[in-house]
Amino acid sequence: MIARGNRQHVASPDRTLAFPEGREGLTGVPGSSPLHILLRRHAPADSKEAADLTEILAFLDRYPQPFDRGIPEGHLTGSAVVVSAAGDRVLLLHHRKLRRWLQPGGHAEAGEREGEAVALREAREETGIQGLALHPSARRPLDVDVHPIPARGADPAHRHLDLRYLVVAPPDAILRHRAAEARALRWFAWEELMTVDLDPGLRRALRAARALTAPTTLAQEESDR
């Protein structure tokens, strides 16, 4: 996931400016938002994801506008695990500053109040692919992950509470690399990922994505171990 620039963001004290009443996180009753309900149904894949899920749910209780970048401790973000139409490849970008392969993703913009919308927009912007779509049967989110973001410029150190979604590219997908944000943009065959330096949380999300898009291949590989 790519963090955006050094824009200044000031959180409004009453958290009522960005999103209209009645939408995600704004019911006024802790734990009753649509996102709360979805996340309570989420089955973590490991102990790290279970701890991150607990942290995100507690965060939603504290902040009615969880995507607000003005929250000092952090904010929700959205990212996309983009797979090919055939399900045999996954698209990653090489982060210019972190110098490692990551999934497309980032911060919400004004008016965005759902992780799916953030993930799809960021994926379109960072890959140039038009026609990206959420996987029709994958759970939403596919994976959740909390990770620290170091201080940079005017932005203090904080945490990203990332909601990750499985996204499918069209058969005729054309990549448009944005050099200002990433060193490279590349499709990887699932087998290639074994030798790539990836964050453990991303590997977990990729396993979930592969199980849905290439289940026969994955089952065969696991039986061979």
Q: Which residues contact 55 (CB under 8 A, 6 or more apart)?
A: 146, 161
Percentage of the chain beyond pLDDT 90 is 68
pLDDT digits (tens, 9 = 90+) for 191-221: 999 999 999 999 999 999 999 997 564 444 5
pLDDT digits (tens, 9 = 90+) for 29-57: 567 789 999 999 999 999 999 999 999 99
Please check whether residue 131 is in contact with residue 28, taking contact to mean a CB–CB distance below 8 angstroms. no
Give me the chain's average pLDDT, please: 84
Q: Which residues contact 24 (CB under 8 A, 6 or more apart)?
A: 33, 34, 35, 66, 113, 114
pTM: predicted TM-score of the whole model, two decimal places? 0.82
pLDDT digits (tens, 9 = 90+) for 51-97: 999 999 999 999 999 999 999 999 999 999 999 999 999 999 998 77
Domain coordinates of the chain in residue numbers?
Answer: 34-149+158-219
Question: What class, spelled out in words, does domain 34-149+158-219 have in CATH?
Answer: alpha beta
